[in-house]
Amino acid sequence: ALAKKTAIITGSTSGIGLAIAHALAAEGCNIVVNSFSDTEADHAIAAEIAAKHAVEAIYVQADMSKGDDCRALVKKAAERFGGVDILVNNAGIQHVAPVDEFPAEQWDRIIAINLSSAFHTTAAALPLMKARKWGRIVNIASAHGLRASPFKSAYVSAKHGILGLTKTVALEVAEQGITCNAICPGYVLTPLVEAQIPDQMKAHNMDRETVIREVMLDRQPTRQFATVEQIGGTVAFLCSDNAAQITGTPISVDGGWTAQ
Ligand code: NAD
């Protein structure tokens, strides 16, 4: 049902964003891959998605910490494919420090990339979606959009904030065939998380299985990571016709974290 729809996924050269790009390409969408860099490897990711799923895919460099870049990303996608149907706001960064030591520039950067970027891309994409009377916006929030952890003030604030944006946008366009939802993953096994495992093993003097179970997945009752494929599949579902009445809501994919 998503054949030839155009999907933009911000921050999609690795991890969750890359898996979402593959999941939507598998549904037949044309794909706009994005990150802040502009390397051969970036463009190769788009080429690989196009070849694997027999769709069209392009890489567009845009820095999600800059509002003008966010809006230019949507404009370039529309110029190439004639419109924008699906927008997935996925780009995100983290910084960990106590509030009274939190570097102000890190606070600004996290709010810009994890929250304000979604405002700018959404503002630019909505007129295009309204013109087609169909659209899907999926914001990748976090369990930290619903719960807090110490030392993650900017991240938790941005992720709580994006749930507010999600609800507000959903209400504004409810009668126009456009939905806006958020996905709240718990711990997802991305390359970034995988890379932390050896350090955690050393710090806690535990083997791999124990450090994953007792330390990393302490708050995730299933004691299993969510996979990037599961997040991609949830995005594809939210873009489907079966999800047309799901709007303005956070969907937790967190192994029971927020049931507690
Ligand atoms: P990742 O670091 O693997 O991917 C982040 C992507 O964003 C990369 O492609 C990176 O190039 C891009 N990016 C970073 N800064 C950017 C910028 N200024 N402009 C454009 N692109 C930029 O991380 P991930 O784990 O895949 O996270 C993706 C999203 O999922 C984030 O919003 C994150 O907060 C959220 N999330 C992740 C987890 C987890 O456990 N991994 C859990 C909950 C939520």
Residue with CA at minimum distance from ligand 1 atom 41: 188
Tell whether ligand 1 has an atom less than 6 A from the beta carbon of residue 226: no
Angle (CA) 182-119-114 rounded to 5° is: 65
Range 153-182 average pLDDT: 98
Instruction: Give backbone dihedrals phi and psi of 181, rounded to 5 degrees, phi first.
Output: -135, 170
Taking only the tens place, the pLDDT of each residue in 51-64 is 999 999 999 999 99
Does the pLDDT value for residue 25 go beyond 90?
Answer: yes
Q: How many residues belong to the chain? A: 260
Q: Is the CB of 116 under 6 A from ligand 1?
A: no
pLDDT at 130 over 90: yes
Q: Select from 71, 18, 9 the least CA-distant residue to 44.
A: 18
42 lines ligand 1 (CB under 6 A): no
How many Cα neighbours within 13 Å face the side chain of 57? 29
Alpha carbons 32 and 29: distance in angstroms, whole number: 10
Q: What span, in angstroms and rounded, lies between the C-alpha atoms of 106 and 66?
A: 14
pLDDT of res. 105: 98
Angstrom distance (rounded) from CA 136 to CA 9: 12
Strand order in the sheet with 135-140: 57-61, 30-35, 6-9, 86-89, 135-140, 178-185, 250-253
Nearest CA to ligand 1 atom 32: 92
Confidence at 207, pLDDT banded by 50, 70, 90 = very high
129 alpha carbon to ligand 1 midpoint, in Å? Answer: 25
Q: Which of these, 231, 222, 260, lies nearest to 213 by C-alpha position? A: 222
Tell me: ipTM over 0.85.
yes
Residues 6+ apart with CB under 8 A from 108: none
Centroid of ligand 1 to alpha carbon of 175 (angstroms): 31
The pLDDT-based confidence of 172 (bands split at 50, 70, 90) is very high
Using one digit for the tens of pLDDT, what is the confidence trace for 149-166? 999 999 999 999 999 999
Using CA atoms, how far residue 13 sits from 44, 205, 216, in Å, is: 10, 33, 25
Average pLDDT, the chain: 97
Q: Give the pLDDT score at 1.
A: 81
Question: For residue 93, how far is its CA from the centre of ligand 1 (angstroms)?
Answer: 6
* Cβ 121 under 6 angstroms from ligand 1: no
**Percentage above 70 pLDDT, the chain:** 100
Residue 191 has pLDDT above 90, yes or no: no
Using only the alpha carbons of the chain, give its radius of gyration.
Answer: 18
Domains of the chain by range and CATH?
6-188+227-259 (3.40.50.720), 189-225 (no CATH)
Indicate which residues carry an active-site annotation: 155
